[in-house]
Amino acid sequence: MSYRCQLYGLGVLADKIIPGVPPSLVSKIDLRVNLGSIPHWLDDLSQTENETVYVTDYRDESGDPLLRVFRLQDGYFKFAYADQTTFLIDQNGTEVWARWSEPLALEDTATYLLGPIMGFVMLLRGVFSLHASAIAIGNVAIAVMGPAGSGKSTTAAAFSTMGYPVLAEDVVTLDDCGDHFLVKPAYPCIRLWPASVKALFGSETHLPLLTPNWNKRYLDLSQNPDQFQQQPLPLAAIYQLDERQDETSAPYISSLDPSQGMIALVANTYSTRLMDKQMRAREFSVLSRLINDVPLRRVTPHASVLRIPDLCDCIIKDFAKLNSSHPTRATCALHV
């Protein structure tokens, strides 16, 4: 079986349906995905042939790292998760293999594939990505950036219920076009914790489960064509989610100076710990231009998830002020 779809602007040919990613009539194949199988030679490699390039600080209940990343012979990369899910990626980011063990299912593996694995694939292909969600406002995109658990996905879902199409909910591409940065559509699905589902839709069970083995749920944006932005858009502003505050003035927005902005961007660049020296040098160049070209703003959300709509309104009003002060930012690169 062959399955064609679009992911982050890439034409993908997979041997199975990728949960959360609708089929697409793509003519050019940029990435091949093999789900459920890995080349036999991988299991024959000795430990001396594996160069460890990253070990996460996070541990499972047994004390084992949740993720180890190895560089193998001929430039391949191996992602080994503590739950026995394994990915193999070629050095050019043109082919991915995945293998998992029961009780895990394809849906569990897809959560890795669509997030960290695709973030690394894009890096190998020369495209940096932010750990962020992206929303279309008019003919441009804004990114809502922050670490895991900061509320990026909940904010994106809230924007979608207000009529603003979503481009991405986890990996936001920074496709460098010289005079602007382009965000390419990811996939029409937003993953949400039950508390967020209840806050946005009134019940924790309003949306279907993401996988049989996890209590996260998902919002399917493909059911409404106006909820998912299917064309790439130029990035016009970045909003960094700060710690939530239980104060009446929240949510509110403040400015970030260039040094603060650089720290925030580096901290939220996907696969930053897997970059070699050449990649890091290019990253610094790209992020330096990004700071000069795209406004970075700090957002302080309210502690209550019920105030997420207020957060969206706050961002919309702030973005309108940015556009009135710098109207060219709202209209740049509209030829894309």
- pLDDT, tens digit (0-9, with 9 covering 90-100), for 269-305: 988 888 888 989 999 999 999 999 999 999 999 999 8
Per-residue model confidence (pLDDT) at position 328:
47
- Please say if the pLDDT value at position 95 is more than 50: yes
Q: How confident is the model at residue 49 (pLDDT cuts 50, 70, 90)?
A: low
122-136, 170-184, 267-281: segment of lowest average pLDDT: 267-281
Average pLDDT, the chain: 91
User: Distance between CA atoms of 302 and 92, rounded to whole angstroms?
Assistant: 42
- Domain ranges in the chain are 3-124, 128-331
Of all helices (H) and strands (E), which one includes residue 154? Answer: helix 152-161
Mean pLDDT, residues 113-119 taken together:
95
Do 236 and 330 meet the contact criterion of CB atoms below 8 Å apart? Answer: yes
Fold of 128-331: Rossmann fold (3.40.50)
Per-residue model confidence (pLDDT) at position 330:
46
User: Distance between CA atoms of 114 and 294, rounded to whole angstroms?
Assistant: 26
Do 275 and 123 meet the contact criterion of CB atoms below 8 Å apart? Answer: yes
- Please say if the pLDDT value at position 248 is more than 70: yes
User: Distance between CA atoms of 47 and 127, rounded to whole angstroms?
Assistant: 31
Q: Is 10 left (phi over 0), alpha (psi -120 to 50) or beta?
A: beta
Q: How confident is the model at residue 335 (pLDDT cuts 50, 70, 90)?
A: very low
User: Distance between CA atoms of 110 and 58, rounded to whole angstroms?
Assistant: 21
- Please say if the pLDDT value at position 306 is more than 60: yes
Per-residue model confidence (pLDDT) at position 327:
54
- Please say if the pLDDT value at position 329 is more than 60: no
Pairing label, strands 189-192, 95-99:
unpaired
Note the helical H segments in 45-190. 106-112, 118-124, 152-161
User: Which pTM value belongs to this model?
Assistant: 0.91
Q: How many residues does the chain have?
A: 336
Per-residue model confidence (pLDDT) at position 42:
83
Mean pLDDT, residues 131-137 taken together:
97
Across the strands, what pairs with 166?
A: 135, 228
